[in-house]
Amino acid sequence: MLRARILAVVAAAGLLGACDRPWSTPEKGAAVGAAAGTGIGLVTGGSFGQVVGAGLIGGAVGYLGGAAVDSSRK
């Protein structure tokens, strides 16, 4: 189990580190929202489907919030 967690963290770090340009505000919001939603789903002890759903909803809300912040800056 520990091996799988370490592999998942290394894979996520590799994907995030491979970006060739700085993230836009909506992209940052989506990443933070998805992480927060997934974390909240895990802490509350939800099933796999609930945790994935919470991550997807958090990502969508984070993206929309980031897009709103980005458009208000312009």
Helices 25-43 and 48-73: crossing angle, nearest 10°? 150
pTM listed for this prediction: 0.68
3-state secondary structure of 62: helix
- For residues 15 and 31, is the Cβ–Cβ distance under 8 A? no
Domain ranges, ordered by start, for the chain: 22-73
Tokens for 68, please give them: 């709103």
Q: Read off the pLDDT of residues 16-54 as tens digits, 9 standing for 90 and up.
A: 676 677 888 998 899 899 989 988 888 888 888 888 889
d(CA 45, CA 24): 32
